[in-house]
Amino acid sequence: MNKSTHFSGHPIIKQLLNLIPRHIISRTADSFDSERYYKTCKTHEHLVSMLYAALSGVSSLRELSTVMLPCEGKLSHLGLESFPRRSTLSDANANITSEVFASIYYSLLDKYGRFLSDSSSLRLPVKHLRIVDSSTISLFSDILKGVGRNPINGRKKGGIKMHTMINALEDVPCLVRFSSAATHDHTFLRELDLKKGSFVVFDKAYTDYRQFFEWTQQDIYFVTRQKENASYKNLEEFDPQHNTPNNILRDEIITVEKNGQIIELRRVAYWDDGKKNL
Average pLDDT, the chain: 83
Q: What is 195-221 written as a DSSP string?
A: -TT-EEE--GGG--HHHHHHHHHTT-E
Rounded Cα distance between 134 and 150, Å, is 22
Position 130 confidence tier, pLDDT thresholds 50, 70, 90 = very high
Position 1 confidence tier, pLDDT thresholds 50, 70, 90 = very low
Query: Which residues are bridge partners to 256 per DSSP?
Result: 263
222 in Cβ contact with 199 (< 8 Å):
yes
Position 115 confidence tier, pLDDT thresholds 50, 70, 90 = confident
| Per-residue pLDDT reduced to its tens digit, 230-253 | 899 999 999 888 788 888 889 999
**Amino acid at residue number 133:** D
| Per-residue pLDDT reduced to its tens digit, 143-188 | 555 555 565 665 555 678 899 999 888 888 999 998 887 788 999 9
Looking at residues 126-141, what average pLDDT do you find?
Answer: 81
Rounded Cα distance between 99 and 105, Å, is 10
Query: Which residues are bridge partners to 270 per DSSP?
Result: 248
Rounded Cα distance between 158 and 144, Å, is 5
47 in Cβ contact with 104 (< 8 Å):
yes
Q: Is the pLDDT score of 11 beyond 50?
A: yes
The percentage of residues in the chain with a pLDDT greater than 90, rounded to a whole number, is: 35
Position 73 confidence tier, pLDDT thresholds 50, 70, 90 = low
- Supply the pTM of this predicted model: 0.76
Query: Which residues are bridge partners to 277 per DSSP?
Result: 272
The residues, ordered by sequence, that sit 6+ positions from 102 with a Cβ below 8 Å of its Cβ are 176
More confident residue, 73 or 164: 164
DSSP class of 276: T
Strands 173-180 and 199-201, by their bridges, are unpaired
| Per-residue pLDDT at 149 | 58
| Per-residue pLDDT reduced to its tens digit, 14-70 | 888 889 999 999 999 999 998 887 777 889 989 998 988 888 888 888 888 888 777
Rounded Cα distance between 220 and 232, Å, is 21
